[in-house]
Amino acid sequence: MTGSVGSCRSCRSSALDLFLDLGWTPLADRLVQNPDAEEPTFPLQVGFCPDCALVQILETVSPSLLFEEDYPYYSSFSPALLEHARGNVKELITDRHLGPGSLVIEPASNDGYLLANYVDAGVPVLGIDPAEGPAAAANAKGVRTINAFLTRDLAESLRADGLQADVIHANNVLAHVADTNGFVAALEMLLAEDGIIVVEVPYVRELIEHCEFDTIYHEHLCYFSVTSLSHLFGRHGLRILEIRELSIHGGSLRVFLGREGKQGEQVRTMLEAESTDGLLDLGFYQDFQGRVERLREDLVAMLSSLHASGHSIAAYGASAKGSTLLNYTGIGTELLDFVVDRNTHKQGKFMPGKHLPIHGPEHILEERPDFLLLLAWNFAEEIMAQQQAYRELGGRFIVPVPSPAII
Ligand code: DWN
């Protein structure tokens, strides 16, 4: 299923307002094995729904093309993400009194990075993930995982087998599904009567306010506000009970949902603030294209000047956001020598579009570039701490968003 949506992915309104066009780009996570091979590109345009406030891309790329074979993203390569998941699980085991008689289900469970914490605590789990590699890695570490997309049909089949989850985690997946309503309906079907769903999504307010345009790519179909989440979940009998703002992935929301229950004050406060601050109106998004274009000009100017002065520059993090940034700005091998990444599944391949070669982090001290463009800026603290030796040798990092800065 590939093609342009004619209506809102959540409420089906036909009044989508286009406010950002990043051009035609290759698929951010389809790393290149053969740099001479032809790469498909797709339009990357973003619209706003005035009826439910959902920000969304207008193109839907086939999920099997995005996530099935060779999907290179393994969550366990990010220690910060592992710690983030560990804390989340620990709190839920305590708060929800989970034990051997409970069941935790996670769609998009990747390599079992989160569910493994429940397995260690003796709580039964079921992971569901369409990516063959990560699903196999999860099963290999003892995290029971079905290699599939979570659909209404799969939910009905699991429910018919008697599966009802006390906790459902849905981290960084709600934005990724082509059938947004079908996915939420599947979550509701799998939830036990008094169960809770914990959803994590990047917060569109952070994206706009901090110019995080590089987090826009074809895997991410939707960019949520509390308001748009409330419309979407309410349509399926789910209530937002609590919300937490997190720093992970450039600013995310952790949303706690149930069939009923008291809605926390924080939810009402955030809904009111979104209305007051304009997130429900096109005006909040209309200057974003101009801001992104200025960031592109400033970043290209900074790298070009450094390069013209004889400085060598490489990049850190073969991330999906890095693909968007490089392809939108046009920055390639004329300015950057290589990219490094800890994920061994990415090493030896090339970045989509610009075909920058991807090496392991050890390549930094082997080549000692003067600067490293931080394409995984959302893990800046952790990465810079790891690269202390490089920094002690005078190496400097360039953080591209919210505006290019040398640190
Ligand atoms: O939604 C998604 C987000 C959550 O993660 C997925 N669709 C795809 C992915 O997007 P991304 O690739 O932009 O995310 P990351 O997690 O910011 O990518 C970080 C990259 O940096 C990974 O390839 C791992 C790598 N890394 C590293 O090399 N050394 C990460 C850390 C923390 C490190 O120390």
Helices (H), ranges, 191-312: 204-209, 226-234, 265-276, 288-308
Task: Tell me which DSSP letter residue 376 carries.
Answer: T
Task: Say if ligand 1 is within 6 A of residue 80 CB.
Answer: yes
Domain check: are 306 and 387 in the same one? yes
66 and 40 in contact (C-beta within 8 Å)?
no
125: Cα separation from own chain's centroid: 23
Question: In the block, which residue shows the tokens 């999860």?
Answer: 138
How far, in Å, are 109, 194, 252, 254 from residue 225 at the CA level? Answer: 23, 25, 10, 12
On whether both 105 and 193 belong to a single domain, the answer is yes
For residue 357, say if its preceding peptide bond is cis, omega within 30 degrees of 0: no
pLDDT digits (tens, 9 = 90+) for 14-41: 999 999 999 999 999 999 999 888 899 9
pLDDT in tens, 219-236: 999 999 999 999 999 999
Cβ of 223 closer than 6 Å to ligand 1, yes or no, is no
| pLDDT reported for residue 69 | 77
Give residue 379 CA to ligand 1 midpoint distance, Å. Answer: 8
Structurally, the chain folds into a number of domains equal to 3
Closest by Cα among 259, 220, 264 to 244: 264
**Closest CA to ligand 1's atom 21:** 317
β-sheet with 252-258: strand ranges across: 145-146, 125-128, 104-107, 165-171, 191-202, 252-258, 239-246
User: Can you state the angle between helices 226-234 and 265-276, rounded to 10 degrees?
Assistant: 120
Q: Does ligand 1 lie within 6 Å of residue 350's CB atom? A: no
Domain extent, residue 277, equals 75-284
What the block records as the tokens of 213 is 């345009």
Query: pLDDT tens, 187-198?
Result: 999 999 999 999
Count of residues in the chain: 407
Mutational pocket test of ligand 1: of 172, 223, 341, the residue with most ligand atoms within 8 Å of the beta carbon? 341
Domain contains 138 = yes
Closest CA relative to residue 373, chosen from 347, 348, 406, 351: 406
Q: Is there an atom of ligand 1 within 6 Å of 76 CB?
A: no
Threshold 0.85, pTM exceeds: yes
Atom of ligand 1 nearest to the CA of 386: 34
Do residue 113 and residue 16 come from a single domain?
no
Cβ of 25 below 6 Å from ligand 1: no
- Separation of CA 386 and ligand 1 centre (Å): 15
Structure tokens at 220: 């991410």
CA 376 / ligand 1 centre spacing (Å) = 6
Q: Is residue 47 part of a domain?
A: yes
- Examine residue 107 and state whether it is found in any structural domain, yes or no: yes
Task: Kindly report, residue by residue over 255-313, the tens digit of the pLDDT.
Answer: 999 998 899 999 999 999 999 999 999 999 999 999 999 999 999 999 999 999 999 99
Give pLDDT tens digits for 314-370.
999 999 999 999 999 999 999 999 999 999 999 999 999 999 999 999 999 999 999
For residue 54, being part of any structural domain is answered with yes
Pairwise CA distance, residues 5 & 14, whole Å: 9
Protein residue whose Cα sits closest to atom 7 of ligand 1: 219
